[in-house]
Amino acid sequence: MHTIERPAARGPSAPRPLAAGWFPGFNPSTDTAGATATATATATATAARAGGRTAPLRLVCLPYAGGTPSVHRNWAAHLGDDVHVVPVLLPGRGLRSRETPYTDLGALVADLADALIEHELAQDYALFGHSMGALLAYEVARELRDRGLPEPAHLFVSGSKAPHLYGDRRDHLLSDADLRQLVRDLGGLGADDTIGSSYLERRLPVLRADLTVCETYRWTPRRPLSCPMTAFSATGDPIASAHEMEAWRVHTRGSLLRHHVEGDHFFLNGPSRPYLLREIRAELDRHLARRLDRLDRLDRPM
269 vs 286: CA distance, rounded Å: 25
Interior angle at CA 227, CA 74 and CA 55, nearest 5: 40
Pairing between β-strand 83-87 and β-strand 57-62 as defined by DSSP bridges: parallel
Question: Residue 10 corresponds to which amino acid?
Answer: R
Which residues make Cβ contacts (< 8 Å) with residue 214, sequence separation at least 6?
17, 18, 19, 20, 65, 105, 132, 135, 166, 169, 172
| 189 within 8 A of 66, measured Cβ to Cβ | no
User: Among residues 131, 158, 160, 272, which one is catalytic?
Assistant: 131
Helix (H) or strand (E) holding 276: helix 273-299
Q: Strand pairing partners for 234?
A: 261
Q: What is the DSSP letter of 4?
A: E
Q: What is the DSSP letter of 158?
A: E
What would the 3-class secondary structure string for 214-247 be? Answer: HHCCCCCCCCCECCCEEEEEECCCCCCCHHHHHH
**Is residue 131 flagged as an active site residue?**
yes
79 vs 66: CA distance, rounded Å: 25
| 251 within 8 A of 12, measured Cβ to Cβ | yes
Q: For the chain, how many residues are written?
A: 302
What are the respective helix, strand and coil percentages of the chain, to the nearest 5? 40, 15, 45
Helix ranges (H only) for 132-175 are 132-146
| 154 within 8 A of 263, measured Cβ to Cβ | no
Catalytic positions, written as ranges: 131
